[in-house]
Structures are given as C-alpha cells and as structure tokens.
Amino acid sequence: MVHGFDQRRLSRITNLCDRYIESGKFPCAQVQVTQGDEVILRHTTGKADIEEGIDLSEDAIFRIYSMTKPLTSIGLMQLYEKGDFILEDPVEKFLPAFRDPQVLIGGSYLKPALRPAQTILTVRDMLMHTSGLTYGFHFANNLDKMYRESKFGSIWGQKNEAIETLEETVDKLGEMPLLFDPGTNWNYSMSTDVCGRLIEVISGQNLSDYLNENIIEPLGMSDTGFHVVPEKRHRFTSNYAFTPENPLMKIDEASKSHYLEPARFLSGGGGMVSTTDDYQRFTFMLLRGGEFGGERIIGRHTLEFMTQNHLPNGRTLNEFGQSTFTETRLEGMGFGLGFSVLENPTANAAVGSKGEFAWGGAASTGFWVDPLEEISCIFMTQFMPSSFYPIRRELKATVYQALI
C-alpha cells in the first residue's frame, strides 16, 4: 500500500498503457498519478518517433491541443479577479466584431438564412461554450462547413505567413452567424480562442506573453508554450493518426513540424505544447486551490466557482448540449468555466467522484483532478482522433480500482 493505493493493483495502470503500445494502437504513452503532494505512479513507454526508432524520453514534449483551454480560462479569470470585466459583459464591449450577432436558422452555407440573436453574447458564454460558435471538424451542420471553408484555426498545409493571427481569426469569427441564441445550448467550439483574444484586448499583452507572465513562469512550466524552441527540439514527439491503410500513420513529424517555428496564430483553444512534469505543476495548482510553490495563480473561491457546473438548473451536457464531438462523455457531465465537471458518475458510466474536473486534447492526451480523493492524473500520447480509443475511461477505471 502506498498513500491510499494498493501497490499491486497500480500495476494495472502500467499494463493498460503497455497494451496500447504493444498492440500498435498508440506510438507512446506517459501517465502520472498523484495523491496529495506525492507522485504515486509514473510510467513512460513507447516511441517518440516510430520510424526513427526514438524512445519516448521522461522529459518528452507533447502537443496538448485542447488541454490549452484550462490555462486560457484561468488566465481570463485572473483579469476577472482584477475587476477588469464581469461575466455578464457583452463580448462586443471588448470585441466590436461581435456586435449584433445573427443566428443561423436555415438556408445553405453559401446563402444562409439568419435572424438577430435574441439573447446577449457574454464573456461567460465564451468560457462555457454556450456562445453559439462551433468547430469546423464537427461536420454536423452548415455553420461547421462555413468554418471549414474559412479555414478557421487551420494550419495544415499552409505556410506560416498564410496563417491568420488570433486577432484576424477572431474578427472573422465575429462576422459568422451563431448556431443558436447565446446561453440556450452548449456546443464545443472555438469559444476559448475568443477568450484568448479577450485576454489580449483587456490586458494589452499578446496571449503568449500574458500566459507566460501570469501562469507559466510563476509555476515553473519551463517547457510549455506555443512552439518548441531550438534547444529542445530533440525532445519533441511526432504525431500519429489512424487511417484505413495504416493504424499508426505519422501526420506530423517532430523534426519538420510547424511547432518548431514561433506560432502566428496563438490558439488559446488548442495551440500549446507541454510536458507531463509541467502540466503536473498546473494540476497541483488546481488541486491546492489555486496556489503552488508559493505562487498564488487564482483565488480559491474563484477556482471553486470555475469548477462548479454552470449549466442552467444543474443540467448535464447530454441534456443541454449539441450531440457533436467533445473531449468528454456527455452523460452525467456538467461544464464550468473551462473544465468539464462530473455531476453524476453513475450516469456517466465511469468510476469517479462527483465534483472532479477535467479536460483532454485532440491527440488523446488528458487530465483530471479529483478534489475529494486529492488525486490528479495526467496522460500523454500523440494519437488522433482522441475519440478513436476509450483510453481515458479505461485509465480512470484502472486508477480508481487501485484506491483502498
């Protein structure tokens, strides 16, 4: 027994990760489980690059994609704590492009039928994904197609100079119709990229500088940022995806990746790279009520507020949300300000604690924080899409079964 865990049963976590590598599902895996102040388990296995035969190192750097969102959300709420805005503020107060939003009600993507929004688009809507924005990869409606045609957030196959900046992207988003009246539904979307732009406008700094100064540097997250600096390129991992021809097709080679260049589009919704150790510092801060290493990042009450379910009348995502892709199972799951929040483990059909909060990334990375058991878990790999294998739910089962 180690700090509330059965040592023998912890081996099931490592066995799970090893099976994913040995069966050729994932190129690599790194998992870390903590309880209180101590690391209970860490396991690193697989290849950073299969074709080059490069083993995954303990200090490997990963694309964390949407695990960027919690950092951006915390960053924006730091400005809330300074009184720089209130959650009910209209987004147009800071971003004029969102003035007079229109809602898509029909037509085609070339000739959409629109009507004026009947509710106010607020900053809170952006933090909650109740804004009416979307993602092009949902492939669910004409608005998604409009996003794809506009190449929002797209960097694949484009030269860096052709990529639009965060300001340019958000200005174009403001001209797009909404999927529904703000606050009346939930849809996973580019809302957190708008939160990143709100940070820039309100703080007067670009997003990278702001996050570095207010979260990354105070927490000592020295390997986290929007690109991989030259002296760390040897630690960067390649990214893989499932295709019918090849279940592990390399789609972004570490030595040739666009992440090796400074980012033109600072995506607060999915643009960062990090390491397990760096992200652990962030999750320790969350687990300790907003403070780590003597640095207060966010107020305790503010963090508790962010990690409550903010969906109306305590509803869950399957009751309030659009049935599109997201980084979590909808049943039994609420949503706060930048995090999923587990409301009903039984309805979610997975072992866990009410009140645990979490999020994941497109390359199958993920984390969760369980304040009740004082547990955090971080999982890193580089495989897309994240919905292809149920690794996060399997991982939860193997972690919680080891508790005594």
- In which element (H, E) is residue 175 found? helix 166-175
Whether 64 shows a pLDDT value over 50: the answer reads yes
Identify the band that residue 326 occupies on the pLDDT scale cut at 50, 70 and 90.
confident
Q: Which two tokens stand for residue 186?
A: 């939930």
Q: Report d(CA 127, CA 130) in Å as an integer.
A: 8
Cα gap 195→200, rounded to integer Å: 9
Q: What percentage of the chain has pLDDT greater than the value 70?
A: 97
Residues 80-112: pLDDT tens digits? 999 999 999 999 999 999 999 999 999 998 999
Band of residue 161 on the pLDDT scale cut at 50, 70, 90:
low
Of 13, 48, 47, 19, the C-alpha closest to 31 is 13
Q: What is the pLDDT of residue 55?
A: 98
Residue 323 pLDDT greater than 70, yes or no: no
Model confidence, pTM: 0.96
Q: DSSP label at 238? A: P
What number does CATH give the domain 75-207?
A: 3.40.710.10
Residue 22 token pair:
């040995």
CATH architecture of the domain with residue range 7-67+223-400: 3-Layer(aba) Sandwich (3.40)
What residue segments make up the domains of the chain, in order of their start? 7-67+223-400, 75-207
- Name residue 122's beta-bridge partners: 90
Give the torsion sign (CA, 170, 191, 195, 99). Answer: positive
239-253 residue pLDDT tens: 999 999 999 999 999
Give me the mean pLDDT over the 369-386 stretch. 97
CA count, 13 A, side-chain hemisphere, 301: 2
Per-residue confidence (pLDDT) for residue 1, from 0 to 100:
39
pLDDT for 2 equals 43
CA dist., res. 202 & res. 83, Å (int) = 11
Asked if the domains at 7-67+223-400 and 75-207 fall in one CATH topology, the answer is yes
- What pLDDT does 213 receive? 98
Residues 6+ apart with CB under 8 A from 8: none
Angle at CA 74, nearest 5°, toward 69 and 79?
Answer: 130
Rounded to whole angstroms, the Cα distance separating 126 from 182 reads 9
Q: How far apart are CA 53 and CA 137, in angstroms?
A: 32
Q: Which residue, 94, 85, 92, is CA-closest to 120?
A: 92
| pLDDT beyond 90 at 160 | no
The pLDDT score that the predictor gives to residue 328 is 84
Q: Average pLDDT of 193-199?
A: 98
d(CA 294, CA 234): 32
Contact (CB, 8 A) for 119 and 182:
yes
Q: What angle do CA 395, 190, 240 make, to 5 degrees?
A: 45
The bridge status of strand 383-384 relative to strand 239-241 is: parallel
Does the pLDDT of residue 3 top 60, yes or no?
A: no
Q: How confident is the model at residue 322 (pLDDT cuts 50, 70, 90)?
A: confident
Please state which of the ranges 34-38, 69-73, 122-126, 136-140 shows the lowest mean pLDDT.
136-140
Q: How confident is the model at residue 202 (pLDDT cuts 50, 70, 90)?
A: very high
| Residues contacting residue 372 through CB under 8 Å, at least 6 positions apart | 353, 354, 355, 356
Token pair 């860490």 in the structure block, residue:
42
Q: What is the mean pLDDT of residues 338-362?
A: 97
Average of pLDDT values for 293-306? Answer: 98
pLDDT at 366: 98
DSSP 272-297: EEE-HHHHHHHHHHHHTTSEETTEE-
Which residue from 255, 201, 264 is spatially nearest to 230, judged by alpha carbons?
255
Pairing state between β 38-49 and 239-241: unpaired
Strands in 261-350 per DSSP E: 272-274, 291-292, 295-296, 333-335, 340-342
**Beta bridge partner(s), residue 39:** 34
Binning the chain into helix, strand and coil, the percentages to the nearest 5 are 35, 20, 45
